[in-house]
Each structure stands twice: as structure tokens, then as C-alpha cells.
Structure 1
Amino acid sequence: MKIFFKSKAILALAILFTCLSTNAEDSKQQKSHDKPNILFIAFDDLRPLIGAYGEPEPITPNLDAFAKDSVLFNKAYVSYPLCNPSRASMLTGVRFDLQSDNWKDNKHPKLIAKQDTWPGVLKDNGYWTATRGKLYHGKIPGNDKSSWDIGGKFWGKIQDGGPEILKKIVEMGGREDQIQIYKDKGAGPGSLMYAAVDGPDEILNDGKVAKDVIDFIKNKRDKNKPFMIASGFARPHMPWVAPKKYFDMYPEDAGKLAPFPKGAKAAFDMEKYKSKTRDHGWNEGVDDKTAQKLIRGYMASTTYADAQMGKVIQALKEEGLYENTVIVVWGDHGYHLTDHGLWRKNTPFLISLRSPLMIKTPSTRGGQVVENIVQNIDIYPTLMELTGSKIDKNIKLHGKSLVPLLHNEEVDWQNIAHTSAKGSHGVITDKYRFTQMKDGELHLYDLEQDPHEWNNLASDAKYASLIKDFLGKMSKVVWNKP
């Protein structure tokens, strides 16, 4: 039967009534369960170089707005500053240090298989689960596919490259040899380069992720169940490819090289942090002008990813779901942007280990900043407590629930993080970062007096007792098994 409206006013009222009815129905469905929804947002290679963490230059309006609604953890660290082990630790609650010389022992599916992941536990506890983009280190391992009602898509080796993207690039720069890899392979996950693409957000993978996640929220989810949706954005991982409009937000001279003391460049032992890419020396051989443009590309990629997150958050609000959704925003580790003459991650430096972490719940007060030391292994027990989920007695978690900190409760909190990177092991406290390198050399830095970690105090006898205490604590820590 067709209904004809005699006036625009009546039509407007009818539309309004339909919207109100839809919202009321969504609200009714939301109240049909007593568990909060969960949106987990992961960024790849995003260090806390965002406005919410006091950085004035990056343009991150959506992350900054979210910080006002959430609890921001100012001293969040990862167990290992590399995508594979960091994401495996976050998903399983187990510390991984990749000490085996056999790379087969370090493959992501093998790490994930150590114990049940929290997405699987949530699904077992009645959650509808879906994921898009990079949550794992690549596609969902076969041993964890059962954790998802809808799993994938991850675009694998296609890192926003290929013939269709190449012909739309209007600006490109970086290390010439790595630009050539990107051109030849249509991908460059390790390429130190940037590229501005003349096209819409959806031409690149993060735009596709946002579109799919919005579809989950608005259409595909089971509205009779609480949902857990994971949105994994690949940027600002290399190569720093983003739509041109995000580059245009920054002036040509945007981007600041990391400072270093006089004489540090010549004295720095680059050999300790050597890799295939770092064989080229300080800043991987790029000149300062190129380095500055690369940092601008990193920030443009961050702004692009921030915009995609904003679209997802807006979809939650449009569906009337924002208030009753636990939202976790997490970066998988820190990142060098010429700090100590290095790019990338996988070093024991604080800049590599520190990551952004913000959490909003229906009951927390937004705008709070927590200075307690926390880690990626704390996310699993936090989600379990927030959702009241039952877990198998065989699951052993290395972290602690952050719920008391979220609610600003007085709690006996051990302010120490246990870390590993490229064969090293160490600890981070409020005042110190201590590391025993793979060759046994000791490094101790006073983070209050020397925040950029240039003055190694380990050989000073007055710190011998402190170092002994740190080594004792490190000897008791469990790695690689529940």
C-alpha cells in the first residue's frame, strides 16, 4: 500500500517518527543484554605522537576528542616493540620475547596458539564478534578463526600500492632504493618512503576498513547480542601512503628531527641496532631534508588513520550506541622517527616501547590521565572484568586488570614494565629504564634527568644495588608460556 503525504510538514513528521522509532528499537535491543558492547581500535606503528599526548604538530582531532571522553594511559608500554609479538601478547595475555633463533618458532599463528584469545572468550560468553583490517599480524590464524562471527578482511601483501595507486600518486619521496621496491612489488611494508595519492579515503585499505566496520555497526551485527568489533588500521605503518588532502593539511616544512647532544652522532654505537635497513647508518642514510619530509608523511598517514577512526565513532553515535560501548584505542608499539639516528621499532629505547592507550567505558569519567605504568598484556584481563566474562581455569594471564585505574580507585600497583627487544631484556619504572643487551652489556638511564636516553649510568658503582635488584626481578618473569 502506498501512502501519500499532503504536505512537507507531514512528511517531515513521518520521517522524524520513523527515526525515533528506530532509535527506540535500538535502545530496546541494547537493553536486552546487560553486557557492554566493545569496539577495539588498533593502529599500526602509532607512537604517542598525537595531540592528546601533548604533541602540538600532529593533526589528530578524533583521537583528541576521544581522549576527552576516555581515560588516557600516559605510561603504556608493550612487552616487545614489534607488530607480531606485541599483537600476540595483547590477544593472548602472554609475554613474548622472540628469543628463538629459529624464525619458525616465532610465527604469529604459533604464538596465538599458546592459549585462548580474548575475542574467542568473548564469543564464548555470548558476544557477536567481527573484525576488519590488521588486528593480528596479518590474516586471522587458522587456529583462531572460530573466535569470529565475521573474520577478515586483511589485504596481506598489498600495502596500498600497485598500478592503480601508482598512477594517482602526485608526490613521493624517501630512500630511492626502497621507493623502487614499492614500485616493483606494488607493496612496501618496510619501505622508508611517503606518497600522496589523489583519491578518496576508500582508495586505500584503511578507508575500506572503516567502511566495513561501519557496516558491521549499522547493518550486519546481531542486535540481540552485545558486540565486539575490532577495527585494525594499518597506518601509520610504512609506506607512508595517504590521500593527498591529508598531506595538504601540513606545511611543507612540517616535521621535526629528533634532537641529539653534541658529539652523539659520532659516538652512537649503531652496530648494536643493526639490521638490513640500518646498515645505511645514521637515519638510514637519508639527508635531513628528506628525513623531515618523511616525518611529515608519517604525520599525514596518522591524520588519515585518525579520520577513519572518526567515521567509526560517528557511526556508533548515530546508532545510539556510543555511551554503552567500551572503546579501546591502542597502538601496537612506539616508533623511531630519527630518534638516536634510527627509524622504525624493535629497539629497547623508550621511544620504541611506549604506545598510546585510551579506554572509555559507560561508567568512567572522561578526560582523566593515568600515570601508572601499564602494558599491552593488561588489556585481556581488563576486558574480562569489564564484561564479566568467565574464562577457562587453564588460561594464565601475565597482566593485571586496569579497571581499578579506570575508576580512579586506590590500588596497590606495581609500577614496573618488563620488556624485551632484539635479544635484550629489561624493565621500565617511573624513574629508570634498565636493559641487559643480548651480548650482556648493561644500560641504565635516568628518565627524569635524561628522558632521551643518552647517558648510560650502568658503569657507575652507585647504581650497582639498583641494577642487582632489577636483574633479580627480571629473573622471576615468565616469557612465552601461560
Structure 2
Amino acid sequence: MKLKKIIFFLGCLCSGTLLYAQDQERPNILFIAFDDLRPQIGAYGEPEPLTPNIDALANQAVQFNRAYVNYPLCSPSRAAMMTGVRFNNKTWIDGKKFKFQEQIQVQKTWPNQLRSNGYWTATSGKIYHGNVPTSEKESWDIPGKYWKGKYHDGGEKIESKIVEIGGRADQIKTYYEKDSGPASLMYAAVDGPDELLNDGKTARDVISFIKEKRDKSKPFMISCGFARPHMPWVAPKKYFDMYPQDAGKLAYVPKNADRDLTKDPYQGRKGSEIWNEGVDDETAQKLIRGYMASTTYADAQMGRVIQALKEEGLYDNTIIVVWGDHGYHLTDHGKWRKNTGYHVALRCPLIIKLPHSKEGKQVENIVQNIDIYPTIMELAGVTLPEEIKLHGNSLVPLLTQKNPKWENITFTCAKDSYGVVTDRYRFTITPDGKRYLYDLKKDPHEWENLAKDKKYKQLMAEYEEKMKSVVWNKPAASL
């Protein structure tokens, strides 16, 4: 990195006015979101997944190894990331359902603030929970769509090109009947180009923003939301072919594990009380292979977008944020999907590349999805109006300093079960008052509940006391 540019950028971090005053030097921002992507990525030490583009970016960026979401489900997680407010997916006091449309309107989002402060903004793919809500259209110069066409990676055109398919038979049937089956536990390899599917189309749109459609007199913020690896795991055949047929490792299960999931604290959709939703180990392995093929497909689309930045000479002056909207079960504890309080569902990937950075850095501090809003504001030099109250903290100290002061704790919720994650433990209280405490260093797969051990009584009491003051669902000062 050239010394002048380092000095300028660090100066900008200290002075939002200086950053805002010099439009030609203000950093561009590219925000990339993946749907249902847990840290099943080469950069995070996973040996099987093929993610060369994310890995290459991580080699020049800051990789957060302990990033979490406050609620492990698409809607509340994305609303929290966009508004900087924790959501627990509950109802209003008056009984009205607290849906995404209401969540996203609790206060102005960070895309709104960037556009209000001189940024040209455009989005394509899934950044919200679906298409851009009506209330958010004003935040974007181009409020692009999530779905491209009538079907979401289904329909006769795509289905006619399927050359390999597997999973639960009833859910494959649902996929064919509904021409999408967004919750179908299945995989399918299609013999076609990347742009046959929606993520390829999203990459195409974003590339057009970068190369053609943007207002070149302004810095830009472009968001790029990939639908994969959300199920159904449909991807072009060439990405399946990158993996051997026996790729896909089932999660660790101790020999004495109780496989009766009716005792599990997190139940949801029909079938979730059955181990691995009733699929046998061979089918489960092939499903995980489908998840990884879908991930590699989405990674390739990200690579196309990054290459466009480089071709336009924009890569060095662009802040790039890569985020997964929550963790995911791939047979962990006999489960698929998300929306549980297990560590594997709460943890998400987060990578941030600063302008002109050429060296990677890994951070072990606990960070959250609600930290993204204040981070982007500080990096862009935007001063927020007083009425905006954020629950998270700017990650800039972790991005730019060696050992900054930082409280390593995040507050979580899943299905009315509230808890915390720290650098060592995950603690949760379920609605029936049961307590769960896991030592994430000694027991990373969370099979030994320590809550009944008296020596942890004081520790759990401290966690419960901290949890009492946590604010959910409305803007307020963070802890």
C-alpha cells in the first residue's frame, strides 16, 4: 500500500468531514450477501468446499472468525443488519405480527443514509427478505429485484435441463409442483450456463451497475445478494462436477447421542423432530455435496463481480463487505436448515476489505450483524442524525488496530429462547426455563450441557443479569 494513500485513508477515518468533502477520494462500497451460507468456506479452514474467490478476497481483507447474528433466520437477521437494531421475531404488544415490512421501518437503514450523503446506490438480488420493500425504494437509485422472472430457479426451462436430482422424494415433488420449492430438501444439477439461474443474473446486473449504469460523478454503494446456497440446492452441473460423488461429510455425532429430537429445545417445521428429517446417511451426504456445489456456484458469481471492479480500475478504492445472513445445520444435531439456538446456526461469515489493502488479517473477537451499520457509516465518513440509535458497534478499531478494547459478547434469540455467546461459552434459557451452557473450546459441537454443574452457577447468573438490559425490536442505545 502506498504511504500517501494509507495516511489519507486513516485520516478519513478520523474525519468524516474530510472524507465527505473529497468525492473523488471517497471509498466506493460493494456489499455482498449470501443466503444460508455458514462459514463452510476454504478461508475458514474447511477442507472440502471450493470457494476460490472468497478465499482470495480474505487473503487481502479482515476475516472475522467469530461473527454472529442475533436471530438465526433470514428475515430478522437481514432487518437487523440493515437497521442496526436487534430483532427477536416476536409480535407487537397489540398482537400484530412483527413482519419484515415492520422491522425494516423501525429507523432509516444504512443504504438510505449513504444515498442521503451523496452516494449513488443500486441493488440486485437478495439484500432484504425478498424484493426491495416499498418503504425502502427511496434508498436506491436502482432498487433491483430479487427474483428474475416468474420462477425462482424452477419452472419448465430449468427443470428440463436437470441431469441429476436427489433428496427427500416428497420435497422433490413439491419443487416440481410449485416450480421453486424454496424449502425443499433436495439438490439438482442443471446442464446450462450460470445465467440460467438467478445468481448468474444477479451478477450480470451488478456488473452492469459497475461498468455502465452508475453515476460516475459520485462514489457508489452497490449491494449484491446471492440466493445460494439457500435450498433447493440447484446449480449448474459443472459445479457439481468439481466434487467427487462421495464429497460431503456428515456432522460429528457422539456414539451415545440421543437421536430422539422430540426432546430437542428447537422444533419448527413438520419433520424437524425426525433425525435428519428422515433422510438416510447416503442421501444426507449427497445433499451436503449439493450445498457445497451451490456455494461454489455463488462464489463464482462473486468472482465475476470482483473481476468487473478490477477491470474498471475500482477495486483498490472499494470497501468490500462479504456477509452470510446466519449459520446453518448440515446434519448438525440431526438437523438441516437454521432457526435454532445452536452455535452452528448463530455463527456467520464476515469479511471486510478496506481500500488498498493487500494483506489478510484474522480477528477472533466476537462481532455481530448489527455492527455492520456503524462500521459502514464510519468508513464512509457519514455522521448519523441523532434520532438513529444503533445496537451495535463500529468494527473500525478491529479493522485498523492491533489489540483494541472490545467486549466479547453477543446476545441471541431463537424461538423465544434467549442467550449469549462469549469467547468461551454459549448460554441459553428456553421458554420453559431450562438452561443450556456449552464450553465451545472443549465441546465445539455442543453435546455436553454444563448447566447443572454447580461450579457454573455464578457464571450463568452473570449472563442472566446482562441479558436483562438488552433491548430488542426498537432503536435504543446499545450496551
TM-score of the aligned structures, taking structure 2 as reference length: 0.92
Q: Which residue of 1 aligns with 2:6?
A: none
Shift of 1:408: 2.6
Match of 2:365 among 360, 372, 382: 372
Q: Distance in 2 between matches of 1:328 and 1:183?
A: 35
* Corresponding position: 1:133 with 2:117: no
Task: Output the amino acid matched with 2:112.
Answer: G
Equivalent residues of 2:316, 2:356 under 8 A apart:
no
Q: Which residue of 1 aligns with 2:104?
A: 112
Secondary structure of 1:385 counterpart: helix
Shift of 1:339: 0.2
Task: Output the amino acid matched with 1:195.
Answer: A
Q: Which residue of 1 aligns with 2:135?
A: 143
Match of 1:70 among 61, 73, 76: 61
Q: Which residue of 2 aligns with 1:5?
A: none
CA-to-aligned-CA distance 1:319-352 (integer Å, 9 cap, x gap): 0000000000000000000000000000000000
Secondary structure of 1:84 counterpart: helix
Q: Distance in 2 between matches of 1:280 and 1:435?
A: 20
Shift of 1:410: 3.3
Task: Output the amino acid matched with 1:289.
Answer: E
**Residues 176-255 of structure 1: matches in 2 within 5 Å?**
176-255=169-248
Shift of 1:158: 2.7
Equivalent residues of 1:213, 1:231 under 8 A apart:
yes
Higher mean C-alpha deviation, range 241-250 or range 431-440: 431-440
CA-to-aligned-CA distance 1:453-477 (integer Å, 9 cap, x gap): 0000111111111110000000011
Secondary structure of 2:143 counterpart: coil
Equivalent residues of 1:132, 1:212 under 8 A apart:
yes
CA-to-aligned-CA distance 1:331-388 (integer Å, 9 cap, x gap): 0000000000000000000000000000001155631000000000000000000010
Shift of 1:154: 1.4
Q: Which residue of 2 aligns with 1:20?
A: none
Q: Distance in 1 between matches of 2:264 and 2:39?
A: 27
Q: Distance in 1 between matches of 2:160 and 2:282?
A: 25
Shift of 1:262: 1.3
Q: Which residue of 1 aligns with 2:425?
A: 432
Equivalent residues of 2:69, 2:77 under 8 A apart:
yes
Q: Distance in 2 between matches of 1:406 and 1:74?
A: 13
Q: Which residue of 2 aligns with 1:171?
A: 164
Task: Output the amino acid matched with 1:80.
Answer: Y
Task: Output the amino acid matched with 1:145.
Answer: K
Q: Which residue of 1 aligns with 2:43?
A: 52
Shift of 1:279: 4.1
Q: Which residue of 1 aligns with 2:26?
A: 35
Q: Which residue of 1 aligns with 2:83?
A: 92
CA-to-aligned-CA distance 1:395-441 (integer Å, 9 cap, x gap): 00000000010013432100001111111110001110000112211
Secondary structure of 1:425 counterpart: strand
Q: Distance in 2 between matches of 1:136 and 1:435?
A: 28
Task: Output the amino acid matched with 1:288.
Answer: D
Task: Output the amino acid matched with 2:54.
Answer: L
Q: Which residue of 1 aligns with 2:70?
A: 79
Higher mean C-alpha deviation, range 99-108 or range 358-367: 99-108
Equivalent residues of 1:62, 1:310 under 8 A apart:
yes
Q: Distance in 1 between matches of 2:392 and 2:288?
A: 33
The change in CA–CA distance for 1:65 and 1:73 in structure 2 (over 3 A counts) is same
Q: Distance in 1 between matches of 2:358 and 2:71?
A: 30
Task: Output the amino acid matched with 2:116.
Answer: D
Secondary structure of 2:316 counterpart: coil
How well do the aligned residues superpose, as a CA RMSD in angstroms?
Answer: 1.5
Secondary structure of 1:159 counterpart: coil
Q: Distance in 2 between matches of 1:268 and 1:451?
A: 20
Higher mean C-alpha deviation, range 317-326 or range 97-106: 97-106
Q: Which residue of 2 aligns with 1:356?
A: 349
Q: Distance in 2 between matches of 1:402 and 1:43?
A: 20
Task: Output the amino acid matched with 2:381.
Answer: G
Shift of 1:269: 4.7
TM-score of the aligned structures, taking structure 1 as reference length: 0.92
Equivalent residues of 1:364, 1:407 under 8 A apart:
no
CA-to-aligned-CA distance 1:50-85 (integer Å, 9 cap, x gap): 100000100110011011011000000001000000
* Corresponding position: 1:387 with 2:380: yes
Equivalent residues of 2:267, 2:273 under 8 A apart:
no
Gaps of at least 5 residues in structure 1 are 1-30
Q: Distance in 1 between matches of 2:231 and 2:69?
A: 20
Shift of 1:273: 2.1
Secondary structure of 1:355 counterpart: strand
Shift of 1:153: 1.3
Gaps of at least 5 residues in structure 2 are 1-21
